[in-house]
Structure formats: C-alpha cells, structure tokens
C-alpha cells in the first residue's frame, strides 16, 4: 500500500473539447490549489473532462448513441491540428502527453515508461479524482443495488464480487451436473438388485463383497474366507467345475425343443382334409365343360360386344357375319356368355392360388417331419417310422395327382380312404412318441442341490459386477461431493470476505461521511449519517432526522442537504480510498447552498484536506469571491469561451478588490461590483465577530443589505468596547455617500455618485481594520491570551475586544 | 503507510488466496488449482473454474 502523493503542476489542453488554442493551467512548482470561475457553457468543465479522459480514456457524460471517440476534438480545429492533454506532475517521471490520433481514432501516451504505465493502469485506477453535480444527483437517485455497485467500484471491490460469482457459478454447475444424478441413480438401482435378488442388502465395498461371496461359495463346498479379489476369482473358477454338467443341459434343451416341434406338427396332420376339400371344389367347377372349354373365347366375346354396342343397327353378327334380326337380343346374349366365362375364370384362379398354398404347406410339413424323424432316430427315441413315411408319401402322391389334373382341367380322382387310414395311423404314432420322449427328458433333469449351485453361481458373478460398478460410481460421486463441499466452503469464505470488506468500507466511509456532513450541517438536527447494507444486495444512506430514522435520505432532506450528502460521500471516499493521487476536482458541485453552507464547505476542505491539492470550479461569482477571500494564496482563473478562440483564461487578480480597481481603471462601471464586494465583506466580518442580527428564514437571511449589516456591526463593536468603531477608517466608510445610497435604494445607481476612487480608497482602509495582510479575517475564534483582544488566524492583526 | 486507507479488492483477494493455499481444511488439489487460476488472472469467469473442477473430479475418480 502506498501513500497518495501525486499532485498536478500544470495541465495543458490543445484542441480538446472547448479548448481550441493551447490552454495552460499553471499551478506552480508547489502544486497550488486552484479556483476557476466561469459562467455556464464557458468551458470550465473542459478541465475536468481533460483529466477524466487522461485517466480513464473516456468522458462519462459523452456516451451513448451518436457519440464517438472523436467528439473530444475541438469543433473549430483544422484537420491537421493535434488534440492532446498534457500533464506535468510533481513527479517528473509521470509527466506525459496523451495525444489523440484522428486518423487511427486512438490515443497514445508520450510516456512509455513502466512506472507511468503502472500508474495509469493500476495505481490510479480506483482513485476518485473528480466530482460534478451530475454525478452527485445521479448517485443519490440510484437504487440501493446500484449504490452498492458504485461503492464497490471505488475500491475495486467488484473484483471480489466477480471472483465469488465465478466460484458460485462453477459450484452450481457441479451441484446440478446430470452425471452426478445419473451415477446416484445407478448406485440406487444396483443396490436395489443386490437387496432384492442377491445379498438381501446393499453391498458397496470390497470387504462386504468378499464376505458375502465367501458365504455363497459354501454351496459349492468351498469353505474359504476370501481376503482379496484374486482369491475370489480363483474360487469362482473352482465353483464353475462344480456346476451341473453342461452337456446334459444342452441335451435337455434339444429334447425339449423336439417335443415342441412334434406337438406343432401334430396339429397340422389334417392337411389331408384340405386336399380333399380342394378336389371337391375343383371337380364341381369343371362339371360345366362348355364354360371351361371356351374360356379362351372371352376376348372375342368382349370385342363383339363392343362392336354391337357401337352399332346396334347392323344386320349381321360381328362374329360369324350371319344375318341377324334383333341386334339388341344378340348383344344381351353376348354379355351373358361373357360374364359366365369371367366367373369361371375367377373360380379357377382362386383354386390355383389355394393349390399353390397347399403345395407349399405339404412341402414345408414334409421337411419338418423329416427333421423330427431324424432327431428321433438320432436320440434313439422309439417311434413308428413306417407309419410316418406312409403318411407323408400319401400326401406327396395326392398333391402330385391333383397338379396333373389341374393342368388339364380334368376330373380328379384319388384314393381318399387309403389316405384317411394313413392319417389315423400317424395320429396314433405321434401319441406313442410322447411317453418315450418324456422318459428320456426325466433322465436329464437337475437336482435341487445343482439348482442351488446354479443360483449361487449366478449371484456370485452378478453380485461381483454390481458391487464393483457401485464402488466405481461411488468413487466418482464422492469426488464430486468432496469438491462440492470444498467449493461451498470457499464460496462461504468469499461471501464472508465480500460482506466483511463491504462492512469495513461502509464503516470507514460512514464515520467520515457523518463527521463531514455534521460539519456542513451543524445547526440541522441531523445525526448518525451512515451507509447501511439493505437486504442482500443493496446499500443506502440512513440518518437520524430530528430523532427519527430516515432512509432513503431524499424523503426527508432538502436539496442542499442532499447535495452536501453527495459531496461528503465523495470526500470521504477520497480520504479513505485514494491510493496514489493527492488531488481532486470539485466541478460546480453546489446546489442551493447558502452562504453558511459554502463557508463551512471551505472550512471542511481546509480542515480535513489541507494536504490535498484541490481544484474548485464554479459558475457562481459570489462563491468564487468567497474562495478568493478565504484562500488568497490559491491560483484563481476565470474562463471565457468564443467559437473563434475557444476557452481562454482571463487575467485576474488574487484580490477581488484589486480586480475591481483594474476594471475601474479601464473605464468600466464598477458601482455594483463595489456594493456586492462590501456586502460580502460585511457578511464575513459579521460571521467572524458573531454579530447578532434579527432572525430570518432561509434566503431572506442571505439577502441582508449593507444598510442592515452596518448598524448591527457597529452595535456589536460598541458592545465589546472595540475602539475601531470610532476610528476615521471605520467612520469614513460608514457615513460615506456610497454606503448611504447603497443602503437606501433598492437598485441604486452607484456609478452616478462620482468619486469612485475615493470610495475604493475608503473600502481598502475599512477592510484593513478587519483583514490582515495575508487576507485573514480577525475572528472571535482567535482570542489573544491574557489580553482583551482578538486576532486573525496568523496573529498579525488585533482588535481590542472585551467579552 | 496511512492506516486510513483500505486495501483494494485485488489486495484483499491476494491475501485470501495466500491463506487458501495453506488451508488444510480444503482439498489440496483444489486449493492449489484455484490459487493457480488466481495468479494467472483466470478467476473472473467461471469457465476456467469449471474446467479445473472437471479435471479434479476425473483425477479423484480413478
């Protein structure tokens, strides 16, 4: 951490915003404070903007639609003119120009040193360097969340928020990872299987697996306490040897299969009836010999029908060319014959299809019987082979005969009786196979003991697979859970860090904000001004207003009080958080401030920021003159702007009265300026000597005239036996035409009085009673010890004063 | 050094990660990985953190 010590010696602007020509603000080798006066739109804020651009590369209010980087360039400058801001610091190694390259649309610094880069990019990054009215109002009006964000930015606290947020984001992703849920689901499923089907409970480690497996192995006569997975694998190999014979199991499967096949074939033995039914239908159809023999005439009949339909007047038959008497009767006859032929053709087609199906079924049936008979023979199962062969041969011969007759469309005749006998015999033969087959199967069944081994073996292998899977899954789940738990811990730590840092910031700020605010508003009943965390994500000012908790402050405070709250917040932030720079700018920050407020602000600056370099910019002449009187050693500048020349500093004197003298010498009318000056001077004297005046509200108090102030000042001086009241310097001004006229007229024409030189001389002499050569006022705050006297702050000017 | 001036967010985080690197309550791999990310300026977005967590989970699942 470093102590802020960087100050400004000189700021030079060239073609920057309102500054067309070179505008030098020379603050001297001792980095003096400075007050700059200029009416609105005369360009004084250009100085602030130049610093803002120098340090941040942007100008906050110059953002949004239609605004580009080039808008920092002076409008009246030519293409070739360079735009730059040059700063000379109290540390020469930091001196640099920042130049805007119009062609490339980017800036460069003339100082390329590492020290300067570190200063501009890091060290000065979070320093609060300027405050303007816009920022004050904007900040005060922001919602509590935005206030927190803004405060966070002061110290780079948002870096903590960002880091915490990325940790939280990654943690949420880890917590909601679908793989984790999937693994947990698999583990639960595997555990369920282990509980229901294998072990009666979930086993999730090697020890449990070995213990349970040791028990299961006992079924195989293997009495061993397993200690490792290798031992388990060896025991499994041993168990395999003691399982029921694999050959017997295979044989049993084959015979079971054969039994099923035979039962299926048994249901198909009535194929014979399908043949006889087909023969009956076929023979019935071919009874109509004429239809069958003339099937090929259908085409001819169809053509004759078409010819007749197209010409019913014809006298001859279209087929035989014989004369006809009634063409319509012939047409009806032709149609009748054609339909009959078509009907016969359809029936024949259906019979052909059925025959084809029948033929396929008989062939398939034959193949299946051949396979079954082969297996029966191979497995030596007694059966009546000849009966099956006779049956199958009968079927094949029958279908062959049917085929022949179908081709020639002649009547079919087969020995149906012989076939029915064969069918009956084969049905009996099938029934005889089952007892033989069942007897063979019973010889192949496994014992209860063998069944137990088979079940145990299955549990051993399946259980091992599930337990090992769960161990693997649990490992990944544990890894995720460990990371989640640790990340939660880190998240909590960062949240604590975030909150404690914010608390520290708020505490640090609140102390100063309250002190400064109470200094500015000493007579208001406002106490305990602080910044507080509101809800989870917000920050708001709170204060006691006449004993009542008040938040947000804008509900209760006046415009000027709110304004002072914004100013003191900035000043507190400067004091607490500026790391490198020991200067700041207050750019036209006063709104509705009365004289007392202004004076207190100057006193606050003097008291708390005496070692800072301050640049005060204002458009209020009265405030400017007050600063001049209060801090005569500051640099004072007045700005004026024209399109042709841009911003320029006017020549000004340190002393306002000297300034008026200069104007008078130039022949300008200064009556009004003199009245304002004397009025201001009297007010300051009255404050310093605590002159009691009748109570007035608000601005009415501000508007007291020379005629009101002078008598009360005189009375107070007399009350305290201050002899100056009788001095020539005092009387000369008190009874002067100038004072009489200024006191008795609302809008006096003081320039018509003549003898302005004399009036100025009287004012100088009057002032010298109360103001020392170092421009410090004699004040009741500075009592000279042991004497009935009061003095100026530096002690070089005294007044007799009796309390 | 002025005692009035508070640390910046970066300074506060620097201190935090120095402490984290020594925190025995947190898994060693995790704290070292996060400290590394902080030193490499990669902790401001979660992408790198998520990647590191994936690698650590894989490593610890073996």
User: A180 forms bridges with which residues in the sheet?
Assistant: none
Nearest Cα residue in chain B from A573: B5
Nearest by CB to A126, from B2, B8, B12: name it. Answer: B8
Chain A residues with beta carbon closer than 8 angstroms to that of B7:
1, 155
**A689-699 burial code (b ≥16 CB/10 A, e <16):** bebeeeeeeee
The most distant pair of C-alpha atoms in chain A lies apart, rounded to whole Å, by 172
Tokens representing A713 are 């000042």
* Rounded percentage of chain A residues whose pLDDT exceeds 70: 92
> pLDDT tens digits, residue range A568-607?
888 998 988 888 999 999 998 886 666 677 888 999 999 9
Chain A residues with beta carbon closer than 8 angstroms to that of B45:
166
**CA A44 – CA A553 distance, rounded (Å):** 31
Nearest by CB to A489, from B8, B25, B46: name it. Answer: B25
What pLDDT sits at residue B1?
Answer: 35
What pLDDT sits at residue A656?
Answer: 78
Phi and psi angles of residue A657, each rounded to the nearest 5 degrees, phi first: -65, -40
Sorting pLDDT into bands at 50, 70 and 90, what band is A73? confident
pLDDT higher than 80, residue A363: yes
What pLDDT sits at residue A90?
Answer: 94
Nearest by CB to B44, from A166, A476, A578: name it. Answer: A166
**CA-based nearest distance A123→chain B, Å:** 10
> Angle, to 10 degrees, between the axis of helix A229-241 and the axis of helix A448-520?
150
**CA-based nearest distance B6→chain A, Å:** 6
Higher pLDDT, A79 or A96: A96
Mean pLDDT on A185-197: 94
pLDDT higher than 90, residue A522: no
By CB atoms closer than 10 A (0-12, 13-18, 19+), residue A96 is buried
What pLDDT sits at residue A507?
Answer: 84
Q: ipTM score here?
A: 0.96
Chain A residues with beta carbon closer than 8 angstroms to that of B53:
170, 173-174, 483, 487
**CA-based nearest distance A484→chain B, Å:** 9
Tokens representing A129 are 């360097």
Q: Which of B51, B53, B55 to probe by mutation at the A interface, max A CB count within 10 Å?
A: B53
Chain B residues with beta carbon closer than 8 angstroms to that of A155:
6-9
Q: Are residues B26 and A158, on separate chains, in Cβ contact within 8 Å?
A: no
Nearest by CB to B45, from A159, A166, A579: name it. Answer: A166
Q: Count CB neighbours of A673 within 10 A.
A: 19
Q: Are residues B30 and A487, on separate chains, in Cβ contact within 8 Å?
A: yes
> pLDDT tens digits, residue range A752-763?
666 888 889 999
Chain A residues with beta carbon closer than 8 angstroms to that of B50:
169-170, 173-174
Chain A residues with beta carbon closer than 8 angstroms to that of B62:
475
What pLDDT sits at residue A110?
Answer: 93
**CA A154 – CA A173 distance, rounded (Å):** 31
What pLDDT sits at residue A40?
Answer: 82
Chain B residues with beta carbon closer than 8 angstroms to that of A165:
46
Nearest by CB to B9, from A159, A486, A508: name it. Answer: A159
Q: Are residues A577 and B5, on separate chains, in Cβ contact within 8 Å?
A: yes
Q: Are residues B16 and A493, on separate chains, in Cβ contact within 8 Å?
A: yes
Sorting pLDDT into bands at 50, 70 and 90, what band is B2? very low
Q: Are residues A483 and B30, on separate chains, in Cβ contact within 8 Å?
A: yes
Nearest Cα residue in chain B from A4: B2
pLDDT higher than 50, residue A292: yes
Sorting pLDDT into bands at 50, 70 and 90, what band is A1? very low
Nearest Cα residue in chain B from A477: B61
> pLDDT tens digits, residue range A551-566?
777 677 777 777 888 8
What pLDDT sits at residue A87?
Answer: 95
Chain A residues with beta carbon closer than 8 angstroms to that of B49:
166-167, 169-170
Task: Tell me the count of A-B CB pairs closer than 8 A.
Answer: 110
Q: Which residues of chain B are at the A interface, by a Cβ-Cβ cutoff of 8 Å? A: 1-2, 4-13, 16, 20, 25-27, 30, 34, 38, 43-46, 49-50, 53, 56-57, 60-62
pLDDT higher than 60, residue B4: no
Nearest by CB to B13, from A163, A480, A483: name it. Answer: A163
> pLDDT tens digits, residue range B15-40?
999 999 999 999 999 999 999 999 99
Nearest by CB to B61, from A157, A475, A501: name it. Answer: A475
What pLDDT sits at residue A79?
Answer: 67
Mean pLDDT on A488-505: 88
**CA-based nearest distance B9→chain A, Å:** 4
Sorting pLDDT into bands at 50, 70 and 90, what band is A748? low
Nearest by CB to B9, from A157, A479, A483: name it. Answer: A157
Sorting pLDDT into bands at 50, 70 and 90, what band is A611? very high
Nearest by CB to B49, from A170, A493, A576: name it. Answer: A170
The most distant pair of C-alpha atoms in chain B lies apart, rounded to whole Å, by 52
**CA A499 – CA A245 distance, rounded (Å):** 75
pTM over 0.80: no
Q: Put residue A763 in one of left, alpha, beta given phi > 0 → left and psi -120 to 50 → alpha.
A: alpha
Q: Count CB neighbours of B55 within 10 A.
A: 11
pLDDT higher than 50, residue A136: yes
Contacts of A149 (CB under 8 A, 6+ apart): A158
Q: Which of B5, B9, B40 to probe by mutation at the A interface, max A CB count within 10 Å?
A: B9
Sorting pLDDT into bands at 50, 70 and 90, what band is A774? confident
Q: Which of B8, B33, B34 to probe by mutation at the A interface, max A CB count within 10 Å?
A: B8
Q: Tell me what the pLDDT averaged over chain A comes to.
A: 85
Cα A491 to chain centroid distance, Å, stands at 18
Q: Are residues A505 and B53, on separate chains, in Cβ contact within 8 Å?
A: no
CA distances from B21 to A301, A495, B16, B26, B35 (A): 107, 18, 9, 9, 6
| Structural contact between residues B17 and B34, judged by C-beta atoms closer than 8 angstroms | yes
Nearest by CB to A576, from B5, B16, B50: name it. Answer: B5
| Structural contact between residues A188 and A474, judged by C-beta atoms closer than 8 angstroms | no
What pLDDT sits at residue A536?
Answer: 63
What pLDDT sits at residue A747?
Answer: 63
Higher pLDDT, B54 or A312: B54
Nearest Cα residue in chain B from A2: B1
**CA-based nearest distance A502→chain B, Å:** 10
Q: Which residues of chain A are at the B interface, by a Cβ-Cβ cutoff of 8 Å? A: 1-4, 126, 152, 155-160, 162-163, 165-167, 169-170, 173-174, 472, 475-476, 478-480, 482-483, 486-487, 489-490, 493-494, 497, 501, 504-505, 508, 575-579
Nearest Cα residue in chain B from A512: B4
Q: Are residues A160 and B43, on separate chains, in Cβ contact within 8 Å?
A: no
**CA A616 – CA A38 distance, rounded (Å):** 11
Chain B residues with beta carbon closer than 8 angstroms to that of A482:
27, 60
Nearest Cα residue in chain A from B51: A170
**CA A38 – CA A40 distance, rounded (Å):** 6
Closest CA to A52 of A85, A95, A99, A97: A85
pLDDT higher than 90, residue A125: no
**CA-based nearest distance A475→chain B, Å:** 5
Nearest Cα residue in chain A from B26: A486
Q: Are residues B8 and A579, on separate chains, in Cβ contact within 8 Å?
A: yes
Q: Which of B1, B3, B4, B5 to probe by mutation at the A interface, max A CB count within 10 Å?
A: B5
Mean pLDDT on A159-174: 92
């Amino acid at each position: 951490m470093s102590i802020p010590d960087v100050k400004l010696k000189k700021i030079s602007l060239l073609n920057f915003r309102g500054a067309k020509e070179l505008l030098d603000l020379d603050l001297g080798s001792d980095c003096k404070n400075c007050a700059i006066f200029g009416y609105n739109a005369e360009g004084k804020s250009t100085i602030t903007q130049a610093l803002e651009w120098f340090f941040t590369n942007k100008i906050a209010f110059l953002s949004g639609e239609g605004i580009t980087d080039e808008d920092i360039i002076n409008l009246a400058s030519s293409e070739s003119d360079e735009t730059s801001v040059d700063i000379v610091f109290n540390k020469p190694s930091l001196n640099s120009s920042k130049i805007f390259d119009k062609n490339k649309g980017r800036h460069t610094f003339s100082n390329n040193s590492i020290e300067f880069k570190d200063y501009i990019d890091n060290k000065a990054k979070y320093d609060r360097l300027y405050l303007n009215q816009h920022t004050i109002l904007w900040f005060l009006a922001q919602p509590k969340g935005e206030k927190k964000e803004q405060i966070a930015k002061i110290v780079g606290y948002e870096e903590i928020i960002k880091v915490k947020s990325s940790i939280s984001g990654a943690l949420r992703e880890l917590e909601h990872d679908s793989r984790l849920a999937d693994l947990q689901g698999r583990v639960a499923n595997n555990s369920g299987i282990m509980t229901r089907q294998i072990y009666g409970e979930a086993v999730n480690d090697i020890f449990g697996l070995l213990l349970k497996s040791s028990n299961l192995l006992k079924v195989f006569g293997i009495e061993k306490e397993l200690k490792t997975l290798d031992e388990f694998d060896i025991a499994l190999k041993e168990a395999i040897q003691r399982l029921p014979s694999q050959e017997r199991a295979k044989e049993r499967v084959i015979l079971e299969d054969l039994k099923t096949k035979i039962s299926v074939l048994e249901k198909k033995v009535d194929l014979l009836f399908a043949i006889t039914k087909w023969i009956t239908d076929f023979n019935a159809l071919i009874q109509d010999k004429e239809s069958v023999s003339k099937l090929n005439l259908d085409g001819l009949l169809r053509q004759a029908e078409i010819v007749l339909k197209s010409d019913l007047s014809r006298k001859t038959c279209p087929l035989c060319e014989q004369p006809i008497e009634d063409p319509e009767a012939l047409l009806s006859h032709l149609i009748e014959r054609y339909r009959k032929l078509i009907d016969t053709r359809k029936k024949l087609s259906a019979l052909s299809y059925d025959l084809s199906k029948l033929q396929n079924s008989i062939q398939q049936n034959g193949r299946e019987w051949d396979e079954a008979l082969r297996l029966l023979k191979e497995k030596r199962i007694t059966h009546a082979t000849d009966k099956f062969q006779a049956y199958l041969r009968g079927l094949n011969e029958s279908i062959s005969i049917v085929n022949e007759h179908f081709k020639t469309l002649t009547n079919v005749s087969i020995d149906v009786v012989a076939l029915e006998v064969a069918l009956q015999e084969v049905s009996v033969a099938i029934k005889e196979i089952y007892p033989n087959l069942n007897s063979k199967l019973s010889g192949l069944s496994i014992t209860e003991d063998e069944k137990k081994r088979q079940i145990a073996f299955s549990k051993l292998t399946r259980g091992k697979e599930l337990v090992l899977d769960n161990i693997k899954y649990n490992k990944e789940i544990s890894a995720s859970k460990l990371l989640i738990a640790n990340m939660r811990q880190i998240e909590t730590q960062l949240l604590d860090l975030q909150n404690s840092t914010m608390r520290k910031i708020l505490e640090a700020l609140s102390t100063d904000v309250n002190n400064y605010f109470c200094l500015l508003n000493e007579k208001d009943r406002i106490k305990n001004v602080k910044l507080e965390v509101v809800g989870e994500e917000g920050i708001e000012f709170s204060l006691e207003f006449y004993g009542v908790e008040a938040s947000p402050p804008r509900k209760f405070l006046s415009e000027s009080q709110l304004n002072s709250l914004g100013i003191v917040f900035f000043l507190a932030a400067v004091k607490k958080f500026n790391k490198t720079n020991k200067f700041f700018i207050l750019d036209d920050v006063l709104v509705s401030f009365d004289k007392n407020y202004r004076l207190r602000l100057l006193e606050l600056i003097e008291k708390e920021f005496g070692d800072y370099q301050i640049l005060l910019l204002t458009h209020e002449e009265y405030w400017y003159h007050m600063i001049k009187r209060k801090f005569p050693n500051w640099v004072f500048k007045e700005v004026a702007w024209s399109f042709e020349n841009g911003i320029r500093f006017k020549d000004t004197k340190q002393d306002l009265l000297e300034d008026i003298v200069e104007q008078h010498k130039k022949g300008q009318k200064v009556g009004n300026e003199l009245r304002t000056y004397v009025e201001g001077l009297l007010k300051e004297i009255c404050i310093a000597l605590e002159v009691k005046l009748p109570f007035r509200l608000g601005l009415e108090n501000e508007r007291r005239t020379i005629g009101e102030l002078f008598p009360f000042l005189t009375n107070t001086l007399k009350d305290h036996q201050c002899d100056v009241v009788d001095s020539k310097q005092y009387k000369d001004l008190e009874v002067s035409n100038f004072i009489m006229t200024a006191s008795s007229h609302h809008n006096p024409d003081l320039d018509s009085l003549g003898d302005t030189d004399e009036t100025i001389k009287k004012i100088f002499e009057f002032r010298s009673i109360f103001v020392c050569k170092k421009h410090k006022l004699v004040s009741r705050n500075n009592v000279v010890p042991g004497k009935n006297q009061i003095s100026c702050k530096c002690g070089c000017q005294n007044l007799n004063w009796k309390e | 050094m002025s005692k009035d001036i508070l640390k910046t967010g970066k300074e506060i985080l620097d201190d935090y990660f120095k402490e984290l690197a020594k925190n025995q309550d947190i898994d060693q791999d995790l704290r070292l990985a996060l400290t590394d990310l902080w030193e490499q300026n990669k902790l401001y977005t979660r992408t790198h953190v998520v990647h590191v967590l994936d690698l650590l989970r894989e490593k610890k699942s073996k």
